[in-house]
Structure formats: structure tokens, C-alpha cells
Amino acid sequence: MNLPQPPEPIPGAKALFSLDFDVAHLNHGSLGAVPHPVQHARRLLMDEAERDPRAFAAQVVTRLRLAREAVCPLVGAPAELTAFTTNTTTGVALALRSMDLSEGDEVLTTDHGYPSIDFNIAAQVRRLGVVHKTVPVPLTPTDTQVVEAVLSGLTPRTRLVVLDQITSATARVFPVAEVARQLRGRGVALLVDGAHVPGHLPVDVAAIGADFWIGNLHKWAYSPRGTALVSVSEDWRDRMWPLVESYGHEAGFPTAVEFHGTDGYTGWIAAPVGPAVLEQLGVERVQLHNAQLAAYGQAVIAKALNVETVDDEGQGRLGMRLIPLPDGLVTTQADAEALWQRIRRNLGVEVAVTCWNGRGFLRVAANVYNRPAEYDRLADGLSGLLAV
């Protein structure tokens, strides 16, 4: 197997991070990493809040609006139709609550979906008698196969389709704009789970045309953890209800969703510093670097394990890649958790181990602080580790 050429490091980029580099951090997709300038901006805001809590609180709503207006261009979302939330899961809960679902209404997902999204749908099943339908999609589907799978699952009772833009466990790119186009006029809402998208791939939320789009800024856009965006179409603006009714309620969306009285807002207000760091490094430069380094990591690990990689045409743009594990090694989520702990403990490597439909995979990610030697380290250690 010929290995792809890894990219040259971006000068100075690694020094932006506080990570313990005794550990090889090859799992940026899970929790991201917060650069020093973003940490510093948040600390200044925390200090300001402690110097005069009441004065700081009086400015929160205005500063949240300004922060939203600063970050929304990164994803092409209208600021007036977008709110900060803590993560994609919370955004899904907001959308489900606002849809006013009732007994027999169907929510459709694919088998590539994220577990916590299913947890929230399951809560609607228990409380309201909603029906959750899951359609299978191949591991390496074409865009046509994804669209056909979604359309095949629709019935007259389908109210909502939830579709990943980038899947988490399987690292696939799904054609969300085409699904939105196909659903238009059918009376079926589309919620796009864009958890891995901001800063990772170019995106124009308004052009996608989904009813709800939700994405994390704390993964690939370098914002503080607990920072995400939920963006809605104009049709849903006046129907979005917060999970907690508080002093911002009468202002309507987005303030009603964002403002919860004495909550902590410093991460959201500091959020624009993350995309600013990304912009200073060069968005396209970073994305190309990450895609090339992830491809190298995937290839060197697959070669060490003597396995074939699982790719599709959309994979080449991503900064995270999938490597199948030997058959039978990981067949449950508990197996995945156990292997993750062994790799972390014995090899000093942080990497995602996923289980999808009874099959085990490594999901390696790459960012500007990573180096080829870290993937070599994982590749060199895996053969012996898995033979134990």
C-alpha cells in the first residue's frame, strides 16, 4: 500500500494549544481543542463578570446578539434566525419540543445517527406515543442511496426527518441539501445534525433549506466547549420554545432560547474568537491540512492492521477517517469502550473507537497540532496490542 504524502505543518499552529503532547491526541472530532487566545478571551470575560456581576448580566443579551452576528457568517446562517445552545443534542431537544408532536407522529432517522439524538426521540416516544423509525443506509453510500433510503421510510404520518450532515460513528458526508429539496412540499420537516460541520467543511446553512440546522462550534471551529448554534427557517422562528422559560421568554427566538437568567454566558460571548483564530490560520489551508493528514493516518494504520479502508467520494474532504478493525474484535459499544481504554493506557494515544451495526472501527482525526509521527505511533503499537 502506497502511503499518501502528509502535509507540511502550519508554522506556529501547534503552539496555540494547551494539550499534553505526551499523549497523541488523534480524536479532535469528539471534544475539539481550545486555542490559547480563546481561553484567554473567556478568562477576561469571567474576570469582568466577577468584578461587577450585575453590570455584566445587564449586557448579556446584547453581547450574545453581537457574538451571534460574528459567528453566523462562518456557516452561512442568518443571525436573527439562529441561537446559541450548549451542543447539538440540546438543539435537537429544542426542535422536538417546538414541533408539538403527538401520538402516532413519526420521526425518521438513519442507522448512522448519533446515540444521544435517539435518546431525545425515545423521550418523545415514552411521553407522547411518537413513533421512531430508523432506515438503514450502507456504510459507504452514494448520495442517491441516502436520498432513496430517506424517501423510502416516509409515510403519511412522518413529521420529521433527522439527518446527519457528517456522521459521527462512520464519518460520512450526507447530501442534506438534496434531502431538503426532496422533502419540500411534503409537509415533512428536516432537522440537519451538523455537529461536525462548522470549521470542518464549507457550509451555507441558508442554502441547505432545512427547517432546523444545528452545529457545534466547539469542535472544528475552536470555540469554547458547550458552544453550538441552532438555526431555523423563517417558518419556525415564532414556534421555537425554550426548554426552560426564563426572563428572555417574551423576546421570542433567539433570545428566549439563549437567555436563562443567571446562566454562564462567557463561552458563548467568547465564541467568535475561535473562528477568528481559524481565519488567521487560513480556513482553507487548515481544512486541506487536516484532510491530508487524516488520509495519511488512515493509510498507515490500515497498512499496519492489513485491512482495506472504507472510503467514498465525500470522504476526501474530511479531517477524520475510518479504519475497520479486525472482524469480531469490537461488536458492541462496551467492546469499543474497553478497546479505547486499552489504547489510551498502553499506547498513550487518544483515538475514537466506534461500533456501527456490530462492526468495529477506529476513527482518526487530524488537526493543526497533529504530526505524522503520532499516527505512526498508533500504527506501530496496534498490532502487538490487538494480539494480546
Range of the domain at 100: 38-276
Give the end of a domain, one of 231, 249, 276: 276
Is the Cβ–Cβ distance between 145 and 138 less than 8 Å?
A: yes
- Please give the pLDDT value at position 296: 97
Q: Residue 5: what residue type?
A: Q
3-state SS string for 66-104: HHHHHHHHHHCCCHHHEEEECCHHHHHHHHHHHCCCCCC
- Please give the pLDDT value at position 388: 52
Q: Is the pLDDT of residue 1 over 70?
A: no
Q: Residues of the chain with pLDDT > 90: what percent?
A: 92
Q: For residue range 98-141, what is the model confidence (pLDDT) as tens digits? A: 999 999 999 999 999 999 999 999 999 999 999 999 999 999 99
Q: Residues of the chain with pLDDT > 70: what percent?
A: 99
Q: Which residue is it, cell 459567528? A: 71
Give the other-Cβ count within 10 Å of 330's Cβ: 25
**Spatial separation of the C-alpha atoms in residues 165 and 134, rounded to whole Å:** 16
Looking at the domain assignment, is residue 9 inside a domain? no
Looking at the domain assignment, is residue 272 inside a domain? yes
Note whether 263 and 139 are same-domain residues. yes
**Spatial separation of the C-alpha atoms in residues 358 and 275, rounded to whole Å:** 37
Q: Is the pLDDT of residue 312 over 70?
A: no
Q: For residue range 63-92, what is the model confidence (pLDDT) as tens digits? A: 999 999 999 999 999 999 999 999 999 999
Looking at the domain assignment, is residue 193 inside a domain? yes
- Please give the pLDDT value at position 345: 97
Mean pLDDT computed over 151-171: 97
Give the other-Cβ count within 10 Å of 151's Cβ: 16
Looking at the domain assignment, is residue 1 inside a domain? no
Note whether 29 and 63 are same-domain residues. no
Give the end of a domain, one of 276, 305, 331: 276
- Please give the pLDDT value at position 130: 98
- Please give the pLDDT value at position 260: 87
Counted domains in the chain? 2
Max CA separation in the chain (angstroms): 62
- Please give the pLDDT value at position 7: 97
Note whether 93 and 220 are same-domain residues. yes
The Cα-based distances of 121 to 24, 65, 82, 247 in angstroms read 35, 30, 22, 28
Give the other-Cβ count within 10 Å of 318's Cβ: 23
Note whether 324 and 373 are same-domain residues. yes
C-alpha cell at 325: 478493525
Note whether 254 and 307 are same-domain residues. no
